[in-house]
Amino acid sequence: MTFKTLDDLTDIAGKRVLVRVDLNVPTKDGKVTDATRIERVVPTIRELSEKGAKVILLAHFGRPKGEPVADMSLKPIAAAVEDILDQRVHFAPEATGDKAASAIAALQNGEILLLENTRFYKGEEKNDPAFTQALAANGDIFVNDAFSAAHRAHSSTEGLAHHLPAYAGRTMQAELEALEKGLGNPKRPVVAIVGGAKVSTKIDLLKNLVKKVDALVIGGGMANTFLAAQGIDVGKSLCEHDLAETAREIDAEAKASGCTIVLPVDGVVAREFKAGAENEVVEIAAIPSDAMVLDVGPKSIAAVNEWVSKAETLVWNGPLGAFEIAPFDKATVAVAKHAAARTKSGALTSVAGGGDTVSAMNHAGVADDLTYVSTAGGAFLEWMEGKPLPGVDILHKA
Ligand code: AMP
């Protein structure tokens, strides 16, 4: 795996650097409610600015579908970036055109400019050559720091790399290095934990993982589908009975690849899906017909932790139980803490991400103790599915 990074960008004072960042942050009443994504792109912006580049930020915000939508303007986000960077961030109300060009022409070395939402233009999501060219005309160099948008072949994520010398920003670099350690060229044994609600959203992911990992732990609601496919009565648990055949196929593919599938042997059951609901631990073959499994039980936690203890590499997507409501967060928290302790001791490389996994790791208080927690949703999952990521592939080629 090779790609150019900011280390290869010396001598860039006065150069116009187009930097694709992910500023698609959650907001409420125009205020940013979680600035994690902004914080992640700060190192790249700061480094380019310190090297004297004219830093021109490209980003999307929401889904405006190719036309300007007032409440999807990036203008308020420019102010949020400015606060976090503690440095002036100019804003242009266009991504291409005269206003963008004149804002860029006015930039001094080291100054930062955010252009308006790239998805206000129909060409962006079509990777339209004319739109890409209009963007490229504003820069000398392209830096992509938005791994989370790299599963899309859009003008600002892929197209630009055909027109300008292309480099990975620091966040993209960290993400790609972590992913390489996770599944690209991992130390074995490799264990994957996949949990969450449904099998139906993760079929491709499970099929890819059984070919690559030594053990696949299946937890969460999706474990019920696998258990039911083996003839176990899962009572009122979340279960996709129509996917029994798919579950058996995945089982067979795992056997053929020498991957051990680890299913729960006990569960925590309740009759209501609410915090503090009365609950009990039962063997997996003894789930009461009027109850649902909301977490894996203590014997299963011990079994999963044993695999984590044997692993040199751990890849994790999806909680083991309904972690948002106590006490059904117990298994997710216990295993996350064990993985974090092994990672801290240097014995384990741990990569987690996708969907609710970031909030599950935050809930367990381990987000800073794992090797890498990816905030990219779709791109992380597509990586786990083994699919090509156009925004990454083009950096390798560049
Ligand atoms: P996903 O986005 O597919 O990773 O699913 C995450 C969701 O799965 C979380 O909201 C969890 O509450 C839910 N979940 C995990 N385990 C269970 C379970 N045993 N029963 C119902 N929902 C679950």
Instruction: Say how many Å lie between the CA of residue 269 and the centre of ligand 1.
Output: 14
User: Is residue 355 flagged as an active site residue?
Assistant: yes
User: Is residue 16 flagged as an active site residue?
Assistant: no
Instruction: Say how many Å lie between the CA of residue 129 and the centre of ligand 1.
Output: 41
Pocket test residue of 202, 273, 323 for ligand 1, highest count of atoms within 8 A of CB: 323
Question: Would you say the CB of residue 319 lies under 6 angstroms from ligand 1?
Answer: yes
User: Is residue 37 flagged as an active site residue?
Assistant: yes
pLDDT of residue 355: 81
User: Is residue 235 flagged as an active site residue?
Assistant: no
Tell me the residue type at 151: H
pLDDT of residue 1: 66
pLDDT of residue 30: 84
Tens of each residue's pLDDT in the chain, 398 residues: 699 999 999 999 999 999 999 999 999 988 999 898 999 999 999 999 999 999 999 999 999 999 999 999 999 999 999 999 999 999 999 999 999 999 999 999 999 999 999 999 999 999 999 999 999 999 999 999 999 999 999 999 999 999 999 999 999 999 999 999 999 999 999 999 999 999 999 999 999 999 999 999 999 999 999 999 999 999 999 999 999 999 999 999 999 999 999 999 999 999 999 999 999 999 999 999 999 999 999 999 999 999 999 999 999 999 999 999 999 999 999 999 999 999 999 999 999 998 899 999 999 999 999 999 998 889 999 999 999 999 999 999 87
Question: Would you say the CB of residue 384 lies under 6 angstroms from ligand 1?
Answer: no
The sheet with strand 112-115 has its strands ordered as 89-92, 112-115, 54-58, 16-20, 141-144, 166-168
Residue nearest atom 3 in ligand 1 by C-alpha distance: 196
Pocket test residue of 236, 271, 320, 328 for ligand 1, highest count of atoms within 8 A of CB: 328
H-state helical runs in the chain: 36-50, 75-85, 98-105, 122-126, 129-136, 170-179, 203-212, 220-229, 244-257, 298-310, 330-344, 357-364, 378-384, 390-397
pLDDT of residue 229: 98
Question: Would you say the CB of residue 238 lies under 6 angstroms from ligand 1?
Answer: yes
Residues 347 and 317 sit within 8 Å (Cβ to Cβ): no
Give the nearest ligand 1 atom to 319 CA: 15
What domains does the chain contain, in order, with CATH numbers? 6-170 (3.40.50.1260), 186-384 (3.40.50.1260)
For strand 372-374 and strand 349-353, is the pairing parallel, antiparallel, or unpaired? Answer: parallel
Question: Would you say the CB of residue 297 lies under 6 angstroms from ligand 1?
Answer: no
Question: Would you say the CB of residue 206 lies under 6 angstroms from ligand 1?
Answer: no
| pTM for the model | 0.93
Residue nearest atom 5 in ligand 1 by C-alpha distance: 196
Pocket test residue of 204, 218, 232, 238 for ligand 1, highest count of atoms within 8 A of CB: 238
Tell me the residue type at 356: D
For residues 233, 238, 243, 247, the Cα torsion angle rounded to the nearest 10 degrees is -70
